[in-house]
Structure 1
Amino acid sequence: MQFIQEWDKTFPRSDKVDHQKVAFENRYGITLAADLYLPKARGNQKLAALAVSGPFGAVKEQSSGLYAQTMAEHGYVTLAFDPSYTGESGGEPRKTASPDINTEDFSAAVDYLGRHAAVDRNRIGIVGICGFAGMALNAAAADKRIRAVATTSMYDMSRVMARGYYDGFTAEQRAQMLEKLSQQRWADAEGEAPALAGGLPETLDGVDDPVTRMYFDYYKTPRGFHERSVNSTTGWAVTSPLSFMNMPLLTYIAEISPRPILLIAGDNAHSRYFSEDAHEAAADPKELMIIKDANHVDLYDRMDKIPFTRISEFFNEHLK
């Protein structure tokens, strides 16, 4: 794979960590591209490691890379990866999401980290942001090598696609959506490539919805725009919801126990209820941390809002 080698992140490069582009395959044979961050002051002792991904529709040059670099400054070996079918990772057709394959992407990252010379494979955790928080919890439930999991601004993508925000879809609305997506398959099969949803608007003229405006402020402005990000550009394949609508991601969240979960959400986040409900469904040990005066997107990149010290303490306690 031909990687972009120059620094093209949405955040400044740290002089406290070493960085390199790496690649590895998941169980489906898809090559994933990732940024590996290692503390410069690491000595010869093997370190705890973290795999990071999200938000849903973002790339490793955005929020997940910021998390990975910052956690490397805290002493962890970290890996921020592009999920299958997105960014610099492989997989065709492009800009497609899958609850199964994207869950597998986390386990493939654990495969990579556990074979790295600087990593203690018995001390690996994962961090999921936004929609990839749900995939991270799903991965931790199945993959017992994952010793601890933290999420921020969590979305359960299977729930929101199947039921709408706040579970607002009626049975008729769900049936109508499935009918529309099913018909779209004919168009995709007869075309050259799957149709794309179109993504966020190019301007906020006439847009009153606060959630759209919030996402625009990150993905469509210099704050977080990246040319390889699905959310910054064309949006996902129209039919992406199909694979999520019948496959609940958090069915086995209680089976993460006795390994710990840290769920972090903003008090003003429209998505806060996903973290609260996941916390209720999970078994101990678990922790729900609500960040004052923070919305959903604040926990993507606002260094004064993201509780990196607590995240580091959490993994330091549980990745012994």
Structure 2
Amino acid sequence: MGCSQEWDKKFPKSEKITYKKVSFQNRYGITLVGDLYLPKNYNNQVLPALAISGPFGAVKEQSSGLYAQTMAERGFAALAFDPSYTGESGGEPRNTASPDINTEDFSAAIDFLGLQTFVDRNKIGIIGICGFGGMALNAVAIDKRVKAVAVTSMYDMSRVMSKGYYDSLTAEQRAQMLVKMSEQRWEDAKNGKPAPGPRNLPETLDGSEVRFVVDYFNYYRTPRGFHHRSLNSNGAWNATTPWSFMNMPLLTYIKEISPRPVLIIAGEKAHSRYFSEDAFKAANEPKELMIIPGAVHVDLYDRLDVIPFDKLTDFFKENLH
């Protein structure tokens, strides 16, 4: 597949799991690449399974892989995958995102898991992290094969791109953004390729940044979380990436996840907490909102002492049936 076969994750390899690189196609014919984690001594049991992706702009060697490995230690077949156009997955042009295609990526992962002989296709769940929390909820609303969904540090990417943080974007500012992207499309068409937008994170901090940018920097731009294939560590989205998010609300049908259960986990001090609280209000029962005391947004990326893996394990063992 032309993919890295070395262990290049941002976390140590567990002795309790087996791991292999896999690939599968989504409905649009894009080849996705994932890391499949299995309990080491599962002895050909038929396992419950989880599809895991996120954060937005991250790769499977970061948070999603850590989640997958940890859940495999706890008895699940867990697939962490790179979304279309990013990481080791296919799709051109690179470094773009789509609320539809990235939602489809989760369903493609369900396709793959359900075809494995060691997976019980009636016991498949999803975990979405950060921006792929919103995509996960959107996928489960439409994909009735998924029996339960959990999201951590959730972003609603369509909401934040179209309305700004805390819905602060004015109608005039939104119109200006759309004018700029509309004009950019002509430039991209003339040049035959999309122009990159601004870097996701700066090379250095100057002290003027808001707290959550500092938190992102301290994860993605330091040895803690830096990965050369991660856009958030080492690149930028294409300038027109927000285009389709601007008028395609991701969580329109969140109520249709019911009667399947939703677990929403957020840090008490996360700048993104309001996305989780609003999604929780919008969802139908059964649902649960878990607020982690003292935690900020990125704490739920990699801090094993903060991420509530016992809760995630209990939630999926109880609800995958």
Task: Name the TM tier (shorter chain).
Answer: over 0.9
> 1:242 maps to which residue?
243
Give the conservation status (yes or no) of the 8 Å contact 1:161–1:244. Answer: yes
Distance 1:187 1:215 in 2: 31
Distance 1:14 1:207 in 2: 39
Give the conservation status (yes or no) of the 8 Å contact 1:262–1:287. Answer: yes
> 2:48 maps to which residue?
48
> 2:15 maps to which residue?
15
1:156-235 → structure 2 map (5 Å cutoff):
156-197=156-197, 198-235=199-236
Verify: 1:81 aligned to 2:63, yes or no.
no
Distance 2:235 2:135 in 1: 22
> 2:275 maps to which residue?
274
Give the conservation status (yes or no) of the 8 Å contact 1:21–1:33. Answer: yes
**Which residue identity lines up with residue 103 of structure 1 in the other structure?**
T
1:188 is displaced (CA, Å) by 1.1
1:94 is displaced (CA, Å) by 0.1
Distance 2:44 2:233 in 1: 40
> 1:114 maps to which residue?
114
SS in 1 for 2:251: coil
1:233 is displaced (CA, Å) by 1.2
Distance 1:54 1:60 in 2: 8
**Which residue identity lines up with residue 73 of structure 1 in the other structure?**
E
Verify: 1:63 aligned to 2:63, yes or no.
yes
1:187 is displaced (CA, Å) by 1.4
> 2:295 maps to which residue?
294
Cα deviations by residue, 1:220-274 (Å, 9 ceiling, x for unpaired): 0000000000111111111000110100000000000000000000000000000
**Which residue identity lines up with residue 188 of structure 2 in the other structure?**
D
Give the conservation status (yes or no) of the 8 Å contact 1:18–1:40. Answer: yes
Verify: 1:36 aligned to 2:70, yes or no.
no
SS in 2 for 1:20: strand
1:2 is displaced (CA, Å) by 1.0
Give the conservation status (yes or no) of the 8 Å contact 1:207–1:213. Answer: no
1:191 is displaced (CA, Å) by 1.7
SS in 2 for 1:38: strand
Give the TM-score normalised by structure 2.
Answer: 0.99
**Which residue identity lines up with residue 44 of structure 1 in the other structure?**
N
Give the TM-score normalised by structure 1.
Answer: 0.99
1:317 is displaced (CA, Å) by 0.2
Cα deviations by residue, 1:128-182 (Å, 9 ceiling, x for unpaired): 0000000000000000000000000000000000100011111111101111111
1:43 is displaced (CA, Å) by 2.3
SS in 1 for 2:233: coil
Unpaired segments ≥5 residues, structure 1: none
Task: State the superposition RMSD in angstroms.
Answer: 0.8
1:126-141 → structure 2 map (5 Å cutoff):
126-141=126-141
Cα deviations by residue, 1:258-314 (Å, 9 ceiling, x for unpaired): 000000000000000000000000000000000011000000000000000000000
Task: Please say which of residues 292-301 and 183-192 is displaced more in the overlay.
Answer: 183-192
SS in 2 for 1:128: strand
1:194 is displaced (CA, Å) by 1.1
Q: How many residues of Structure 1 are paired with residues of Structure 2 in the alignment?
A: 320
Verify: 1:104 aligned to 2:109, yes or no.
no
Aligned-pair identity in percent equals 70
1:42 is displaced (CA, Å) by 1.1
Cα deviations by residue, 1:28-51 (Å, 9 ceiling, x for unpaired): 000000000000121232010000
Distance 1:207 1:184 in 2: 29
> 1:318 maps to which residue?
319
Cα deviations by residue, 1:88-131 (Å, 9 ceiling, x for unpaired): 00000000000000000000000000001110000000000000
Cα deviations by residue, 1:167-225 (Å, 9 ceiling, x for unpaired): 11111111011111111111111224211122210001243321211110010000000
**Which residue identity lines up with residue 172 of structure 1 in the other structure?**
E
SS in 2 for 1:231: helix
Distance 2:213 2:171 in 1: 25
SS in 2 for 1:174: helix
Distance 2:233 2:271 in 1: 20
Give the conservation status (yes or no) of the 8 Å contact 1:129–1:151. Answer: yes
Distance 1:312 1:199 in 2: 33
SS in 1 for 2:215: helix
